[in-house]
Amino acid sequence: MMPFRFAASRLIALSFLVAAAAPVAAGPVLYSGATVIDGTGAPARPAQDILIDGERIVAIGAQGSLTAQAGDARKVDLSGRYVIPGLIDSHVHLATPPNRPRAEAILRRQLYGGVTAVRDMADDLRAVGDLSRASLVGEVAAPDIYYAALMAGPPFFEDPRVLAVSRGFKPGTAPWMQAIDKSTDLRTAVTLARGTSARAIKIYADLSAERVAAITAEAHRQKLMIWAHSSVFPARPSDVIAAGADVISHVCYLGYEAQAENLAAYEDRTPVKEDLLAPSGDDPVVARLYRAMLKQGTILDATGNLFVKFEAERKALPDKKPLRCSGAQTVRLTQQAWRAGIPISTGTDYVDPASDLWPEVHQELRFLVRDVGMPPLAVIRSATLVGAQAAGQAADMGSIEAGKLANFVVLTADPVADIDNIAAIETTVKGGRQYPRADYVPLTAKELDNDD
C-alpha cells in the first residue's frame, strides 16, 4: 500500500481539468476497417468492423460483413488504425491518503492514456467507493475501479498509512482495514468487508499460514476474491499459494521461499537472500511455487518495473529502506514465471509525478517486453484479458468480443511491431464513450508541485 509520490498543494485549483465523462453515443456506432488485436493472444486480424450499441460490443466481423446488422449506425473509419482492448493496471492506490482532486487528475491521465479499468489494492474505501461510483455513472473521466478491503495481523496497524486511510476508526477496526488474530470471527469480518462493495480481500501482512488459509476459505465462501502479497510474513509464499489466493502480488517476494525460515514480520525489511536462488535459468524452489500456481490457476501481479525503477534511487539514497529484491533478480523471477506459463498481469504500485504525460502501466508493458523478453502480443494479453481476470471482470472486459463492454483503444501504429506504439493513441473508448487523446490537457509544473 504505497502513498502517492507527489505534492498536491494546489490541486483544488485544477478542477477544470477533471471534466465529466463524454456522453455515450446515441444509437449504434460502426467502427470500420481496423486491425484488431483482441487481447486473447490471437494474431492480429486486419480489416475488421466493430459494431457497438450503447456501452456494449454487438458484433465483430470482416470489413463490410456487418452492414445489414449495422443499419443506419454512425460510421467511424478506422482504416490504417489498430484496436486493442482497454488496458488494465492491476495494482494502484488511489486514496492513501484520500485526496479527491489528485485522484481524479491521475485517473483522467490513465483514461486518456488507454487505461479503462484499475484494481485498487486497499485504501480508504470511503473515498475509493465514491470514485468508483463517479466513474461508473460518467461523472468523471476515469477508468472503472475494482477494489479490495485489507486484512492483516495486529502489528501492521501501527503503520502510519493505516491512520491516513481509516480516520474516525480505531486502527484495525474499519471494515475496509481490519486487524485479524486467532480470536477474530472471520465470518463477521468478511461480511463487514463485503459491505464496503469490495470485490476482494487483500491479505497483506503479519499473518500465519493458518490465518491466511482461514481468511481465504471464508472469503471464497462469501464470493469474494483473495488478492494477497506473495509472502505475508510469517506465512511463506507456498502457504499463500496453497491457501488458494486468486492473485498474488510482487514476484520479488517469492524469493523468500528459498530461506529456511521466512521473516517473522512484514516490518522486517531484510531483503531476499538472493545468493540462495539460482543466478541464472530456472530456480528449483521457485519452480515448485509456479507449478502449484499453475495447478490452482493463480495469477501473478508481478509489479516488476517497480523494483527496476526504484533500485537506482535506493543506491543513490542509502538512508532509504532497501528494496526487498534487486532489479536483476526481479527480472529473472518474472522470466521464469513467463517460461512456466504463469498468467502475468500488469500492475504498477507506484505513481509518477502528475505532470507526466502517460500512465505508469505503459512502463510495465515495456518492462515485460524489453527486460523480461515477452512477445508484445503476449504482453498486450497480460495488460488486458489477464488484468480483467485478476479483477474478476473477464466476463465483461479484457478482450474485444461481442457482448463485452466497448472498452478499447484506437492506435495509429502497430503495438505488436513496437511496444512503444502503445502510446500512439488516437482515441480511448470506454463503455461506448469516446475520449480523444487530443482532448487531454496534462498538468504542468506551474499548476502542480512536482514530486519532491
pLDDT in tens, 23-66: 766 799 999 999 999 999 999 999 999 999 999 999 999 999 99
Q: Are the C-beta atoms of residues 234 and 262 closer than 8 Å to each other? A: yes
- Same domain, yes or no, for 50 and 96? no
d(CA 47, CA 63): 5
Residue 48 sits at φ, ψ, to 5 deg, of -115, 150
- Same domain, yes or no, for 188 and 331? yes
Tell me the residue length of the chain.
452
All three cell numbers of 18, joined, read 477533471
* Mean pLDDT computed over 214-242: 98
- Same domain, yes or no, for 291 and 342? yes
d(CA 249, CA 113): 24
> What is the pLDDT confidence band of residue 4, given thresholds at 50, 70 and 90?
very low
d(CA 397, CA 411): 19
> What is the pLDDT confidence band of residue 173, given thresholds at 50, 70 and 90?
very high
Q: Is the pTM of this model over 0.85?
A: yes
Q: How many helices (H) and strands (E) does the chain have?
A: 13, 18
- Between residues 252 and 354, which one has the greater pLDDT? 252
The answer on pLDDT for 400 being more than 90 is yes
DSSP-based helix, strand, coil % in the chain, nearest 5: 35, 20, 45
Domain count, the chain: 2
Q: Does some domain include residue 167?
A: yes
The answer on pLDDT for 382 being more than 70 is yes
* Mean pLDDT computed over 347-368: 94
Helical packing angle, 327-340 and 284-296, nearest 10°: 50
- Between residues 162 and 235, which one has the greater pLDDT? 235
Q: Look at residue 284 and give its three-state secondary structure.
A: helix
Residue with cell 483503444: 409
Which residue(s) pair with 77 in the sheet?
Answer: 32
- Same domain, yes or no, for 335 and 362? yes
**pLDDT on residue 444:** 59
Q: What is the CATH number of the domain that holds 423?
A: 2.30.40.10
* Out of 76-90, 111-125, 156-170, least confident range: 156-170
- Same domain, yes or no, for 417 and 355? no
Amino acid identity for residue 343 in this structure: P
List, as one string, the DSSP characters of 177-233: EEE--TT--HHHHHHHHHTTT-SEEEE-SSB-HHHHHHHHHHHHHTT-EEEEES--S
Residue with cell 483473495: 226
Q: Are the C-beta atoms of residues 17 and 441 closer than 8 Å to each other? A: yes
Q: Does some domain include residue 323?
A: yes
Q: Does some domain include residue 448?
A: no
Q: Does some domain include residue 13?
A: no
**pLDDT on residue 78:** 98
Residue ending a domain, choose from 355, 390, 425: 390
Q: Does some domain include residue 15?
A: no
**pLDDT on residue 169:** 97
> What is the pLDDT confidence band of residue 12, given thresholds at 50, 70 and 90?
very low
Amino acid identity for residue 408 in this structure: F
Q: Does some domain include residue 72?
A: yes
Q: Are the C-beta atoms of residues 87 and 97 closer than 8 Å to each other? A: no
The Cα-based distances of 327 to 134, 313, 338 in angstroms read 37, 12, 17
pLDDT in tens, 403-417: 999 999 999 999 999
Q: Are the C-beta atoms of residues 430 and 143 closer than 8 Å to each other? A: yes
* Mean pLDDT computed over 308-316: 84
The answer on pLDDT for 69 being more than 90 is yes
Residue with cell 509518477: 352
Residue 359 contacts by C-beta under 8 Å, 6 or more apart in sequence? 87, 89, 109, 110, 113, 114, 115
Nearest CA to 382 out of 327, 326, 333, 334 is that of: 334
- Same domain, yes or no, for 253 and 317? yes
Mean pLDDT for all residues in the chain: 92
**pLDDT on residue 321:** 77
Q: Does some domain include residue 446?
A: no
Q: Does some domain include residue 225?
A: yes
- Same domain, yes or no, for 70 and 197? no
The answer on pLDDT for 14 being more than 50 is no
Q: What is the CATH number of the domain that holds 265?
A: 3.20.20.140
Count CA atoms closer than 13 A to 37's CA, side-chain side.
27
d(CA 372, CA 380): 14
Cis peptide before 234 (omega within 30 of 0): yes
All three cell numbers of 357, joined, read 504525460
The answer on pLDDT for 218 being more than 70 is yes
- Same domain, yes or no, for 342 and 414? no
The answer on pLDDT for 17 being more than 60 is no
Pairing label, strands 87-92, 344-345:
unpaired
d(CA 393, CA 431): 14
Q: Where are the alpha helices (DSSP H) in 341-444?
A: 361-366, 376-381, 387-390
**pLDDT on residue 442:** 78
- Same domain, yes or no, for 37 and 174? no
- Same domain, yes or no, for 422 and 301? no
**pLDDT on residue 289:** 98
- Domain enclosing residue 358, as ranges: 87-390
The answer on pLDDT for 138 being more than 60 is yes
All three cell numbers of 159, joined, read 503503520
List, as one string, the DSSP characters of 405-430: B--EEEESS-TTT-GGGGG-EEEEEE
- Same domain, yes or no, for 262 and 235? yes
- Same domain, yes or no, for 133 and 168? yes
Residue 145 sits at φ, ψ, to 5 deg, of -125, 125
Q: Are the C-beta atoms of residues 240 and 266 closer than 8 Å to each other? A: no
Q: Are the C-beta atoms of residues 243 and 214 closer than 8 Å to each other? A: no
pLDDT in tens, 253-310: 999 999 999 999 999 999 999 999 999 899 999 999 999 999 999 999 999 999 999 9
**pLDDT on residue 1:** 54
